[in-house]
Structure 1
């Protein structure tokens, strides 16, 4: 690929963020719509609550996920993808298809 010799800092930071364990899967789960913390955790049960909390904070800081507090009784908090998060999510569909085609032979 052209330009690999001089990676832009933005590209490096993006791969660093996306490459963190569980990050891509969290974004993939949120593509289907807003989820509560407990819903995300139940969909990805091997992900510890501590790491899920860390990843959600990182994704929120980067403007990929929005934490939405719903003022009901009891108070509910949902997480949803921002426009930036949905744009990032578009690349996860092809990765999912690749995984379906190629990774099943490894498990």
Structure 2
């Protein structure tokens, strides 16, 4: 947790962890169940392999995820949420719901601006 700074304020520490780019997206992917690196990468195509590796390490260092080895025949390494990571599930769900509402509101606001611009343009052309 060294990377997240030293603070006595748990809220600031949590914000420091969760606000790093791609962290919420990675955690969201892992709420669906353990995932291999390649599965996480496929689920988040915009993140580079280097950044994904760094963020997975950050989450592991913070105790939010862990690496597990699957037994043969799979015999591969997967990332999974720890109990601490699972405890964040309701927070992730709430953020995703809020983000959806926010995106809808932004879209409606953009449409209203676009519509009002078109209306004023048509009035000035008359």
Whole-angstrom distance in 2 between the partners of 1:24 and 1:34: 15
Q: Which structure has more strand as a fraction of its residues?
A: 1
Q: Structure 1: any 5+ residue segments left out of the alignment?
A: 1-6
TM alignment of 1:1-107, pairs within 5 A: 8-72=8-72, 75-106=75-106
Give the CA deviation at 1:9: 3.3
Whole-angstrom distance in 2 between the partners of 1:102 and 1:17: 22
Q: Which structure has more helix as a fraction of its residues?
A: 2
Q: How many residues align?
A: 101
TM-score by length of 1: 0.83
* Secondary structure, aligned partner of 1:80: strand
| Bigger RCO of structures 1 and 2 (CA < 8 A, at least 6 apart) | 1
Whole-angstrom distance in 1 between the partners of 2:83 and 2:93: 16
Whole-angstrom distance in 2 between the partners of 1:10 and 1:105: 31
Task: Say if 1:90 and 1:75 are closer, same or farther in 2 by CA, change over 3 A.
Answer: same
Whole-angstrom distance in 1 between the partners of 2:26 and 2:98: 18
Give the CA deviation at 1:66: 0.8
72-81 or 58-67, larger mean C-alpha shift: 72-81
Give the CA deviation at 1:71: 4.8
* Runs of 4+, deviation exceeding 4 Å: none
Whole-angstrom distance in 2 between the partners of 1:70 and 1:84: 21
